[in-house]
Amino acid sequence: MNITKQIKSEIIHILKMKKLIGIEHITPVSFSRKTNNKLSLPDEILNLEEYVKNCSLCELSKSKESILFGKGNNTSEIYIVGLNYNYEDDKKFFLIKKMIENVIKLNINETYMTNILKCNSNKLQNKFDVEVNSCIHYLEKQITISEPKMIITLGNAFDYMIKSGEDIMDVSGSLFSYNGIKLIPLMDPDFIYKNPSYKEKMFQDLQKIKKIMDEK
């Protein structure tokens, strides 16, 4: 089998993770595109976070400034998922935070805010297909552990989770299903921050979410 750059990265990652837990020798690893980096991930959130901190599967890990694994209540029924959103940026997130709290009547700290891409990197690029393919398994494991009842995506995180090909401007506020979990996309907070004329649209989308929550 020809070893691609991606496969080589995954092999190095496996060896590094085994060494971290004290394993010096491992049996031969059989690789295929179906299994790629779906490794045996930890079954507890805190252990998974430590695992992710040592991840080296993609190029973003080489330029990461920090890890944004998750913020808020990790047992919450509501997940807020961005692609690589900085929830610590008060200027851009404050507006959405207040709208969520005022419209949905939910303290933002009672939700669990996370990303598909866990590395907070200064690397600028338009597409993250390769990086998402390496990293999305961590989000899938977070969801498996926490079993949220609803996922709210921000901006183009929707594209990678639902893969419908639809424009976020057309589907924001609509109800989808992600592995049996209710999923509702919202516009990117950065976009709302730069285009305040769309605040009314965001308000309407949040009202839809409130209605869905009240129907349960």
Return all residues near 33 (Cβ < 8 A) that are at least 6 apart.
Answer: none
- Mean of pLDDT values over 134-158: 95
Q: Which residue has the higher pLDDT, 58 or 185?
A: 185
pLDDT digits (tens, 9 = 90+) for 82-115: 998 888 877 778 888 899 999 999 999 999 999 9
pLDDT of residue 37: 46
Query: What's the CATH number for 68-215?
Result: 3.40.470.10
pLDDT of residue 203: 94
pLDDT of residue 64: 82
User: What's the rounded Cα separation, in Å, for the pair 7 and 5?
Assistant: 6
List phi, psi (to 5°) of 171.
Answer: -115, -5
Q: Which two tokens stand for residue 211?
A: 């209605």
pLDDT digits (tens, 9 = 90+) for 16-57: 554 544 555 555 555 444 444 456 899 999 999 999 988 888
